[in-house]
């Protein structure tokens, strides 16, 4: 197959949703359709462990939240899907933002009972900023959820995107009868009792068979929705979808594996193949022969038995074969991609070849940073991978002084993953860490203890805001002297000041007006 045909089959997307909307359940069903797992729920039950396929970290299970975004690759209907799972919890938003830079489309999952929830609104803001094409799946139709037209209205108003229902539910809750597909006039029946699903061809929404199957009352309600969807709402417009202005909407129930196949079909048919990417020198087309990629995520100790570190690459152009040498643009070093891996649930598999659009893992011997570009020789840097300023800070105290080497290693490695930032204080020997969401503190503490054997105490520092100080060296030194107690150095040696209140900030800005006070490094 030619390079461009291979690339045209790639679909790379992320699922974004509020915690508990059913993302893990839906992901499992996807893997089942991709024949990656034999039985949905199978992995969950394995060896009596309560993990699900996309849960990697123990803390995630303990607290019942999704804290690390993982990557899964699976085939479906001739297409090759790369799914980037994202943490739903707000304290991990920077991980999610970065994941969204690596995908070409997103699936927004909404709980039919709760409607549009807070975290979805935030994540949608990022999608909108990036003009990411969105498909929406309204889940849990087997529960007594909200009125369908109300839900569509809420999506339009709160998420600010035009909706275009591809299917419409008939009945809901205990009396949920199935979904009607508007484009091909089929009725997909639902039965919770025996799990049986049938796809029945109808002549149209007026087909009397629908009344026989579902009862007059439900069809009346359905017809009303159907008329609104087909007469009062704009028809599907692929251009609008591709620019993030309109989203196809599907209804179903992940746990009952209902409506999931239609959703995957829609991804195969209408979601975009890999898009061109901007770099600091030019736009890179996916079908260019020369390989290029960027790193959007680094994760240490995915397999605690092997103390590994994995860098996740989004391939942006061309292809590569195992063993190829590539240029690490930031350092100018040549690197051999010895064992690129794809991810199947808990398992990794070494792959021989990957194409633009694919997301693969490579072993990181400690040389990669998030945002690094790899190419076949040309020097450039992909743009648009955001940096995040930490909002919460804590002083790290090691509880067992004999473990200081382990602590140093753990702090350095975990900060390279990008979720925490490491600082040294000017006035004390205790390291300081900064995070975007407070829950990251718990994760860091847990991981330092479990992965590095270093038990620590974290003392939060009360901070109004952090500012990176720039400007003439001598003035910076004066500033550092005056504000020594509040000053830190980041990993590049840049000066950072943690202002305890607005007054101190304003005063510093006034007294050192020739210095820059920036929110990010």
**Footprint of ligand G4P (CB under 6 A):** 17, 19-25, 66, 88, 139-140, 142-143, 253-256
- Are 292 and 376 contacting, i.e. CB atoms less than 8 angstroms apart? yes
Q: What is the DSSP string of 7-73?
A: HHTEEEEEEEE-TTSSHHHHHHHHHHHTTSSSSTTHHHHGGG----TT---HHHHHHTS--S--EEE
Query: Nearest distance from residue 314's CB to ligand G4P, in Å?
Result: 23
Q: Which is nearer to ligand G4P, 34 or 357 (CB)?
A: 34
Name every residue whose Cβ is closer than 8 Å to that of residue 304 and which is 6 or more positions away in sequence. 450, 451
Q: Which is nearer to ligand G4P, 172 or 452 (CB)?
A: 172
For residues 317 and 291, what is the distance between their CA atoms, to the nearest angstrom?
5
3-state secondary structure of 282: coil
| Tokens at 419, concatenated | 């979720």
Q: Which is nearer to ligand G4P, 167 or 420 (CB)?
A: 167
Query: Nearest distance from residue 343's CB to ligand G4P, in Å?
Result: 17
Strands 495-499 and 465-470 come out as antiparallel
3-state secondary structure of 283: strand
Query: Nearest distance from residue 54's CB to ligand G4P, in Å?
Result: 8
For residues 418 and 91, what is the distance between their CA atoms, to the nearest angstrom?
13
Q: Which is nearer to ligand G4P, 74 or 479 (CB)?
A: 74
Instruction: Give the H/E segment covering residue 169.
Output: strand 167-170
Query: Nearest distance from residue 50's CB to ligand G4P, in Å?
Result: 9
DSSP at 229: I
Query: Nearest distance from residue 256's CB to ligand G4P, in Å?
Result: 6
Q: Which is nearer to ligand G4P, 60 or 486 (CB)?
A: 60
- Are 170 and 210 contacting, i.e. CB atoms less than 8 angstroms apart? yes
Question: With b meaning 16 or more CB within 10 Å and e meaning fewer, what string describes 128-159?
Answer: eeeebbbbbbbbbbbeebbebbebbebbeeeb
Query: Nearest distance from residue 187's CB to ligand G4P, in Å?
Result: 19
Q: Which is nearer to ligand G4P, 21 or 155 (CB)?
A: 21
Name every residue whose Cβ is closer than 8 Å to that of residue 439 and which is 6 or more positions away in sequence. 65, 67, 89, 91, 92
3-state secondary structure of 476: helix
Query: Nearest distance from residue 347's CB to ligand G4P, in Å?
Result: 20
Please name every residue paired with 395 in a beta bridge, in sequence order, or none if there are none.
432, 459
Q: Which is nearer to ligand G4P, 124 or 411 (CB)?
A: 124
Query: Nearest distance from residue 169's CB to ligand G4P, in Å?
Result: 12
Q: Which is nearer to ligand G4P, 51 or 343 (CB)?
A: 51
Query: Nearest distance from residue 495's CB to ligand G4P, in Å?
Result: 40
For residues 100 and 423, what is the distance between their CA atoms, to the nearest angstrom?
27
Q: Which is nearer to ligand G4P, 79 or 254 (CB)?
A: 254
């Amino acid at each position: 197959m030619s390079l461009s045909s291979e690339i045209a089959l790639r679909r790379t997307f992320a699922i974004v949703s509020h915690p508990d909307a059913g993302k893990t359940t839906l992901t499992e069903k996807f893997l089942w359709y991709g024949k990656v797992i034999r039985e949905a729920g199978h992995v969950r039950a394995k060896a009596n462990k309560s993990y699900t396929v996309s849960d990697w970290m123990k803390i995630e299970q303990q607290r019942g939240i999704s804290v690390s975004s993982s990557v899964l690759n699976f085939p479906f209907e001739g297409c090759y899907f790369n799914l980037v799972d994202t943490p739903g919890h707000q304290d991990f938003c920077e991980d999610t933002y970065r994941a969204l830079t690596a995908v070409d489309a997103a699936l927004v999952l909404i709980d039919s009972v709760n409607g549009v929830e807070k975290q979805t609104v935030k994540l949608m803001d990022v999608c909108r900023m990036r003009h990411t094409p969105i498909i929406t799946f309204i889940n849990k139709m087997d529960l007594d959820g909200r009125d369908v037209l109300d839900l569509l209205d809420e999506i339009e108003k709160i998420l600010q995107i035009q909706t275009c229902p591809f299917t419409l539910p008939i009945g809901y809750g205990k009396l949920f009868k199935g979904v009607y597909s508007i484009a091909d006039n089929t009725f997909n029946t639902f039965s919770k009792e025996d799990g049986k699903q049938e796809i029945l061809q109808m002549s149209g929404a007026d087909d009397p068979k629908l009344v026989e199957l579902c009862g007059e009352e439900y069809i009346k309600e359905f017809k009303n929705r159907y008329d609104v969807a087909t007469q009062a709402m704009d028809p599907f417009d692929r251009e609008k979808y591709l620019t993030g202005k309109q989203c196809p909407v599907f209804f179903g129930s992940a746990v009952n594996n209902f409506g999931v196949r239609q959703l995957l079909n829609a991804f195969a048919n209408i979601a975009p193949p890999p898009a061109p990417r901007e770099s600091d020198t030019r736009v890179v087309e996916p079908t260019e022969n020369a390989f290029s990629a960027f790193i959007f995520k680094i994760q240490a100790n995915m397999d605690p038995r092997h103390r590994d570190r994995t860098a996740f690459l989004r391939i942006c152009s061309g292809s590569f074969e195992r063993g190829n040498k590539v240029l690490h643009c930031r350092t100018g070093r040549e690197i051999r991609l010895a064992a690129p891996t794809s991810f199947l649930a808990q398992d990794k598999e070494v792959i021989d070849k990957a194409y633009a659009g694919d997301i693969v893992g490579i072993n990181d011997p400690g040389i990669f940073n998030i945002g690094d570009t790899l190419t076949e020789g040309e020097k450039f840097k992909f743009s648009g991978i955001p940096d995040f300023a930490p909002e919460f800070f804590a002083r790290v105290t090691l509880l067992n002084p004999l473990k200081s080497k382990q602590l140093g290693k753990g702090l350095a490695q975990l900060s390279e993953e990008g979720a925490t930032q490491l600082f040294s204080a000017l006035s004390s020997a205790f390291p300081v860490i900064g995070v975007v969401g407070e829950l990251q503190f718990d994760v860091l503490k847990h991981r330092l203890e479990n992965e590095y054997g270093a038990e620590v105490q974290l003392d939060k520092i009360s901070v109004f805001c952090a500012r990176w100080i720039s400007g003439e060296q001598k003035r910076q030194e004066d500033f550092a002297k005056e504000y020594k107690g509040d000053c830190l150095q980041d990993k590049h040696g840049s000066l950072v000041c943690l202002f305890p209140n607005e007054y101190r900030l304003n005063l510093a800005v006034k007294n050192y007006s020739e210095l820059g006070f920036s929110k990010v490094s």
